[in-house]
Each structure stands twice: as structure tokens, then as C-alpha cells.
């Protein structure tokens, strides 16, 4: 169960990373979108680090 949760968090983190990269490639990246994506990515990273590995 914990493994599936960690996999889900890791997948969401990867999707956010891809979204962030795509936004940065735009000619005029939206600063608000970048902030939101970075904040979400950091929250997920913190959650991944808090989860005990079973």
C-alpha cells in the first residue's frame, strides 16, 4: 500500500517536472504558473521524503 502511494507521488512529481520544463520552454513563461508548479513540486518532494520506506 505504501509503495503504491510512493509510486503515485513520484509519478505526480515527474508530471509536474515535465509541466515546469514545458512552461520554461515557452517564449514568455508565465511567472505565476512557474511559482505554482514549483510550489506543488516542492510539496510533493517533501511528502516523498517524509514517507517511510517499507
Q: Does residue 39 register a pLDDT over 90?
A: yes
Please state the domain count of the chain: 1
User: What is the extent of the structural domain holding 11?
Assistant: 2-50
pLDDT at 6: 87
CB 40 within 8 A of CB 13: no
pLDDT > 90: what percent of the chain? Answer: 67
In which band, very low, low, confident or very high, does the pLDDT at 28 lie, cut at 50, 70 and 90? Answer: very high
* pLDDT band per the 50, 70, 90 thresholds, residue 52: low
CA-to-CA separations, 35 to 7, 20, 25, 32, in angstroms, rounded: 24, 9, 15, 5
C-alpha cell at 10: 513520484
Q: Is the pLDDT of residue 16 over 70?
A: yes
DSSP-derived letter for residue 52 is P
What is the 8-class DSSP label of residue 1?
-
Distance between CA 17 and CA 46 in Å, rounded? 15
Amino acid at each position: 500500500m505504501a509503495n503504491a502511494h510512493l509510486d503515485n507521488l513520484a509519478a505526480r512529481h515527474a508530471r509536474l517536472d515535465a509541466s515546469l520544463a514545458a512552461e520554461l520552454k515557452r517564449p514568455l513563461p508565465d511567472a505565476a504558473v512557474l511559482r505554482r508548479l514549483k510550489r506543488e513540486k516542492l510539496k510533493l518532494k517533501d511528502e516523498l521524503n517524509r514517507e517511510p520506506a517499507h
